[in-house]
Amino acid sequence: MNYGTRIAELREHKGLKQEELAQSLGITRAALSHYEKNRRKPDFEILNKLADIFGVTIDYLVGRTSHPTAILDSDVKEFVDQLELSDEDILQRFNLTIDGRTLSEEEAKRFIAFVRMERMMK
């Protein structure tokens, strides 16, 4: 199932009109319609809002799983909530490697900067 169909089904199941959901998301009804018809992809902020409104995971919204919710062990959830790769503690705790060679702290920071720049360009 694709993300557009899933968004439309969740909206209908909740008894919301496109205008109502669009207003909750801070977007136009036309933008929501484009999402539901797979003409445009929602950005990360919109996916987060949709997941919160419908009480589902982003993976469920985008069709990566057929399970609407995920249950994480409390320790895992706490770790994921605090994970930030640029955090020096995380860089020290994980041995990041490429081609079998450990990245230096400077290389890891450049790698993270590259990924962030690539995301901004999309």
Q: What is the pLDDT of residues 6-19, one digit of tens each?
A: 999 999 999 999 99
What pLDDT does 105 receive? 77
Please give the residue that has the higher pLDDT: either 24 or 66. Answer: 24
Average pLDDT for 64-87: 67
Task: Write out pLDDT tens, residues 16-61.
Answer: 999 999 999 999 999 999 999 999 999 999 999 999 999 998 888 9
CATH of domain 3-61: 1.10.260.40
Torsion of CA 9, 30, 58, 121, to 10 degrees: 150
Average pLDDT taken over every residue of the chain? 84
- 11 class by beta-carbon count within 10 Å (0-12 exposed, 13-18 middle, 19+ buried): buried
What pLDDT band is residue 107 in, cutting at 50, 70 and 90? confident
Q: How far is CA 28 from the centre of its chain?
A: 21
| Percent of the chain at pLDDT exceeding 70 | 80
Rounded CA gap, 22 and 11, in Å?
10
Closest Cα partner for 24 from 5, 51, 59? 51
**What are the sequence ranges of the domains in the chain?**
3-61, 74-121
Please give the distance of CA 102 from its chain centroid, rounded to a whole number. Answer: 28
pTM over 0.75? The answer is no
What is the enclosing helix (H) or strand (E) of 82? helix 74-82
Ramachandran bin of 43, using left for φ above 0, alpha for ψ from -120 to 50, beta for the remaining angles: beta
